[in-house]
Structure 1
Amino acid sequence: MSDTLYLVDTFSLLFQVFYAIRQPMTGTRGQPTNAVYGFTGDIEHLVKEKKPSHLIFAMESPEPGERLNIFAEYKANRDEMPNDLRPQVGMILELLEAYRIPVVSYPGWEADDVIATLSRRAVRDGLEVRIVSNDKDARQLLCPKCKIYSIRKRQFYQEPELLEDWGIRPEQVIDFQSLVGDAVDNVPGVPGVGPKTASTLLQEYGTLEGVLDNADRVKGKKVSENLKAFRDVALRSRELVTLRQDLPIEIDWELARLREPDYESLVRLFTDYGFRRYATDAQVKYQEARVQAPSTVERTWTTIRTPEAFEAFLVELRQQPKFCLDLETSNVNPLEADIVGWAISWTPNHGYYIAVDGPAGEEFLDRDGVLAAMKPILEGADLSGAVAPVSPVVRKAPAPVARPENGDSAKTQGRLFG
């Protein structure tokens, strides 16, 4: 099965949830959080239910848009961003960083252009693509490997739905919008040409040029006149609605592969936002990740099998104010167990193992001699004076050490002495 890339129009999603959740919501510092809360829910849905292999959020460029050079009134009718939404933009960027989801933009171009470029490149590279946006411009990107996902309806939009809605194919979407225009983006189009008329014209003449070149043959005097009078407007509108599919964006798909979030950062953010349920869930995941995370610390140990090594070990041990001890034994029943080895440590990531029994052929120290040497230390005797040297006899095991029936060595609980 091919990897699947979800491309999300960040502001499209943000505005959707902002107007969907209109009841006031504030965080611990009084900051508005309604849009962030809805945005979090959508991220969770995408990650946990759609389970993409790759996920990217596309953003608008903060620089002046290139389309303004084509038409100065482009998007001129849009209202300013609401005051209680503006501070939430930075908050969702922090949130995406904590989720370890990349955010991509390109100077002078819109999120739609970023999505168009990345979707075409992803399809070329063998990925399945799902575009999360309610912007109708994205319909021009539809193809067998690229679908649109309506996150509000939880439905996919594909070529059959386009044919049912507009009566056209994906390659005709740009021409359709050039004729009809787009009131949201202040793209003028041809007066008097609505969706139904545009669909009929494109079904008959195929392309925008085909429609404009046959304006005299179009039924309806006013429509015919407007197609001729507003020819240049329609061609300019086509420039405005055509998404760039060739922006020079450098992308490494592996960097967009879905990863485990930074749960520690999510706990901090969710707590600040007042999202208690999300904070609790993130805290659980954070604790689980800490337990499961493989250690990158290098640990060393020294096995002591000779009297000389044991004497040197005792000299160091007597100088320690505290140490940890664990015993390896031959049986889980302490009344029947014999000591097999002593595990001792007093510095992080380094330990000693004193072997007093073992498999046949291995050398180890005398069990009773080691016990005699360790006894005063464990009993807390005054070690400041001279202590008679202990020289346990080195022995070889005559036979394998007896083990419990379950095959596991029994151990005492680790204890701290000091």
Structure 2
Amino acid sequence: MKKLYLIDVSAMFFRAYYAVRPLSSPSGLPVNAIYGFLSMIIKLLKEEKPEYLVFCYDRKEPSFRKTMYEAYKAHRTEMPDELAQQIPYIKKLADLLGVPSFEVESFEADDIIGTAAKWGRRNGMEVFIVSGDKDFGQLVEDHIILYDTMKNVRYDAQGVFEKWGVRPDQFIDYLAIVGDTSDNVPGVKGIGEKGAIKLLEQFKHVEDIYENIDKVESKSVREKLLASKENALLSKKLVTISLDVPMPDELAAYKLKPFHTEELKALLHELNFRSFEKSLFGTVSETAPATAPPAVAPKELVTAAPAGATISVQEDVVPTIVIAKEERSFVEKSLNTRELADILKEKQNLWGFADVRGVFVGTESEIIEIPDSEFLGKLTDTFQIQWHGYDLKNFWHKIGARTPTAAWDSQLAAYVLKAGDTSDFGKIYTRFMADVLPELASPAYLYNAHLNFAKTLQDQLKNVQGEQVYRELDLPLARVLLSMERYGVRIDKDLLAQQSADLAKEISSLEEKIHAAAGESFNVGSPKQLGVVLFEKLGLPVGKKTKTGYSTDEEVLLGLDHPIAKLVLSWRELSKLKSTYVDALPAMIDPKDDRVHTSFNQALTTTGRLSSTAPNLQNIPIRTERGQQVRKAFIAAPRMKLLSVDYSQIELRILAHISEDPNLCKAFADDLDIHAATASEVFGVPLKEVTSEHRRSAKAVNFGIAYGQGAFGLAENLGISRTEAKDIIDRYFSRFKNVREYIDGTVKMAHEKGYVETLFGRRRYIEELQSKNMAMKKFGERAAINAPIQGTASDLVKKAMIEVFEKVPVRMLLQVHDELIFEDFEENLKKHSAELVHIMENVVKLKVPLKVNYAIGNNWDEAH
């Protein structure tokens, strides 16, 4: 989802003026507001990497509100002269930074922001209103966030409610009642914030209050409302942000443009902002004055090491060898795709990289900006270009590539070297190269950085024997995931709408029961209010506290012996299901093809597993009946079916292979119910006499063993004493001795080497083993036990995905842990299902057979 950032320039500029100590340029110009504002913008550019960002200005002449109410903003004091002198420089900086700016006659910046925010949502964008002005609370909704960068706080609808006590759809009414002294909005005299909140809890809007004035309990409040009725209704009009400002409709009007490097450097030099010169461009003008306003130092500053030196960089487990950085010169030019076609060669090696200001292609001697980059993918697919880059999948989406070839991806190489979040190129570059990229690095600087980074990573892959995992699994998988993301999956909107209505009724019913149990009405979704009800009104034992008050997390609620706790847990489960999936999925449907396109994160988790976002398909709560219903909404295209192919007990089979435990291997070789077979061994009863309770206990042990679960965890899981749990675990290890040996041997090796490996050679470094905190060290040991098993399962699924993609002509849509979902005509699915099963069951040879289950259906639930 594209992101649009709307900057309330006046508000942020004023706050910067008062937040930063007085500063002056060499010419005597006050620069503290410019400095503070520019600091905020640079931080935003660095951390958010916005592609669409707009400065919104107020105009000098009055807005249309002045004609409605002559006294509007009549009490505003004159702007300090030191601040007024700095305003022209903000507009100049906007031009040089390539930031689009809007000011519209008769309208305020708030109205421009309101109109642009709604335009952004109509165009499927996520909108961030960058301001500290509470008036924007009225605009907050799904995918419109109020972002106060100076306090680093983001307000969604729940955040607005928790901060101001009213919902966003009531915010205009709230402002109409309390008024605004700074803008001279009268409001209702004598009624403040608390009074307004209380009224809006009883009545939805101002008009409802006056239509039901006789229902206002307090006589004095009623009299105040009646005395100020005209002012209240007028105030509502004054505080309502207009959504009808004449604004451009083209996406390009809101997009960041290329910055003017030399002119920007000259301006920063003029203002004596040497620190910004260095952070933006990596250099400082030689003729710059000796002194400059102090900038905030980066949290992590790493200095470059000499060639061949060994350095220790924060968050790294293994030392990184930094090679000498070569600085190459390139010819920079801009070509459209037609012009580029004239110089391309078949299977040519190209680098592709992009920032918020453009898409660039690198050759051996040139850096080429591609202004019509949306056509680049189709062209380069034709030439079978061998792509090099960082996060190629994302780059391919940007250029519209469909059948690209990956020759090198630095993100995936870095991930093999150290699994974890590698989404931020700058941070990962710093980790490995002991250097900090300038925030607005030039294309030539970036290209050199990419080339040097790739050389370092190639050397490191050899050092840790990571080339096979990188070349055979991670690199070829990128193309598979691109195809899956492009296909997407159909969603049944009508079914979800019905589920939403049903859930709303259940949630409402639960709220009534919760209020009855509490003896009063309150916001169940507010942890603060819930804590007061539970621990002060009802006097329940306090489990733990947080910085902001009582903890009401799941662990605390499960420990409370009161009916209200179970009701709240059910309320949370259904509310999350409704908001996260049932209501959110329809909003994610792409109108172009009526499908949802999730994004698979290939280089994010520490375990090597894929994850997904927008929507997150890995976390659909399928263990509950309600959660299972959501899968029914994932449907096949017209005249097609879905095929689900799911590995059976893959992690336990891998455990059997690694441990070579004879009893475990025999159970799988004989194709037994593994949990029943385990129960038979642990409880010493024939297989036919295993009870459901025996099997439940054995199943908990089987799954727990792979995660290093001890007696405490098993006791909690099964609801038994620790003594009983310990006895079950002891009996398990007496029958499955090789599993015990695997666990002990793996933990020992992890302590010695600092890492563990999958069967495919993927390493996971476990820093927690070095911790002096015993709980953290134990966590590391559990991770060491599980990582080879879960990581091998993940690698195995990836290998299967690659082989199926290359050999079987059916559409692969989704991967959810050990399950793959396909879509095609039913006859085609039936034709190729045997081949699919064969590939997945033979993708690697283990000491026990791999087994998959499969089914065909109209939706995911039927096919599962």
Per the shorter chain, which TM-score range?
0.5 to 0.7
Residue 40 of structure 2 contacts residue 150 of structure 2 at CA under 8 Å; is this kept in 1? Answer: no
Cα RMSD (Å): 2.2
Counterpart of 1:17 in structure 2: which amino acid?
Answer: A
Asked whether 1:293 is paired with 2:345, we answer: no
* Alpha-carbon offset, residue 285 of structure 1: 7.3
Structure-1 residue corresponding to 2:42:
44
Note closer, same or farther for the CA distance 1:292–1:168 as it changes in structure 2 (3 Å cut).
farther
The residue that corresponds to 1:152 in the other structure is 150
Farther-moved stretch of structure 1 (83-92 vs 192-201)? 192-201
1:267–1:282 CA contact under 8 A, matched in 2: no
Higher helix proportion: 2
Aligned to 1:98: 96
User: 2:271 is matched with which residue: 261, 270, 273?
Assistant: 273
User: 2:107 and 2:90 mapped to 1: Cα distance?
Assistant: 20
Equivalent position amino acid for 1:228 in 2: L
| 1: CA distance, partners of 2:277 / 2:26 | 13
TM-score (norm 1): 0.67
Q: Which moved more, 1:73-82 or 1:214-223?
A: 214-223
Report Cα offsets for 1:141-200 as digits up to 9, x if no partner: 000110010111112111112222333221111111111111221111001211111111
User: What is the DSSP-based 3-state SS (H/G/I as helix, E as strand, rest coil) of the residue aligned with 1:75?
Assistant: coil
Superposition pairs of residues 180-329 of structure 1, within 5 angstroms:
180-284=178-282, 291=330, 293-294=332-333
In structure 1, C-alpha distance between the alignment counterparts of 2:225 and 2:256, rounded to whole Å: 48
Corresponding residue of 2:51:
53
Counterpart residue type for residue 227 of structure 2 = A
Aligned-partner residue type, residue 276 of structure 2: Y
* Residues in 1 aligned to 2:72 and 2:328: alpha-carbon distance in whole angstroms: 48
Aligned residues: 295
Tell me the secondary structure at the aligned position of residue 12 of structure 1: helix
Distance change >3 Å, CA 203–CA 283, structure 1 → 2: closer
Which is worse superposed, 101-110 or 277-286? 277-286
Mapped partners of 2:195, 2:17: distance in 1: 35
1:215 shift after superposition: 2.1
8 Å contact from structure 1 (residues 4, 52) kept in 2: yes
Alignment-derived partner of residue 7 in structure 2: 8
TM-superposed deviation, 1:291? 4.4
Change in Cα spacing, 1:233 to 1:289, as seen in structure 2 (3 Å) is farther
Residue in 1 that maps onto 2:135: 137
CA contact (8 A) 1:112 1:243 kept: yes
For residues 236-291 of structure 1, the C-alpha deviation after alignment (integer angstroms, 9 at most, x for no partner) is: 00110000001121242223223442111110100000111222444547999994
Structure 1 pair 109–290 and aligned structure 2 pair: CA distance change class (3 A): farther
Moved more, 144-153 or 194-203: 194-203
Please state whether the residue corresponding to 1:84 is helix, strand or coil: helix
CA distance, structure 2, for counterparts of residue 262 and residue 88 of structure 1: 20
Query: Quick one: which amino acid aligns to residue 134 of structure 2?
Result: K
Which 10-residue stretch deviates more, 128-137 or 160-169? 160-169
Paired residue for 1:69, among 67, 71, 80? 67
Counterpart-to-counterpart distance in 2, 1:255 and 1:69:
30
Q: What's the CA shift string for 1:292-314, capped at 9, x where partnerless? A: 62277x9xxxxxxxxxxxxxxxx
Contact 2:277–2:283 (8 Å) recurs in 1: no
Q: Is the 8 A contact 2:278 2:284 kept in 1?
A: no
Matched residues in 2 for 1:230 and 1:213: separation?
A: 14
**3-state SS of 2:333 partner:** coil
**CA–CA separation in structure 2 for the residues paired with 1:195 and 1:224:** 16
- 1:410 is matched with which residue? none
Q: 2:319 matched to which residue of 1?
A: none
SS of the residue 1:293 aligns to: strand
The DSSP-based 3-state class of the residue aligned with 2:128 is strand
Provide the C-alpha distance between the structure 2 equivalents of 1:28 and 1:289, rounded to a whole number of angstroms: 36
Which structure 2 residues correspond to residues 327-338 of structure 1 after superposition, within 5 A? none
Query: What is the rounded CA distance, in whole Å, between the counterparts of 1:290 and 1:175 in structure 2?
Result: 61
Percent identity (aligned): 37
Change (3 A) 1:290 1:107: farther
Contact in 2 for aligned 1:134/1:150 (Cα 8 Å): yes
Change (3 A) 1:209 1:290: farther
Q: Note closer, same or farther for the CA distance 1:88–1:207 as it changes in structure 2 (3 Å cut).
A: same
1:166 touches 1:196 (CA, 8 Å); kept in 2?
Answer: no
Shift of 1:43: 1.0
> Contact (CA 8 Å) 2:179, 2:185: kept in 1 or not?
yes
Letter in 2 for 1:294: K
Cα distance change, pair 174–213 in 1 and its aligned pair in 2 (3 A): same
Q: Secondary structure at the match of 1:85?
A: helix
| Native 8 Å contact 1:264 1:286 kept in 2 | no
- Report how far residue 216 of structure 1 moved: 2.5
Q: What is the identity, as a one-letter code, of the residue corresponding to 2:8?
A: D
What is the match of residue 128 of structure 1? 126
Q: Radius of gyration: which is bigger?
A: 1
Distance 1:120 1:285, change over 3 A: farther
CA distance in structure 2 between the aligned counterparts of 1:286 and 1:275, rounded to whole angstroms: 10
Instruction: For residue 94 of structure 1, give the secondary structure of its aligned residue in structure 2.
Output: helix
1:166 and 1:38, CA in 2 relative to 1: closer, same or farther beyond 3 A? closer
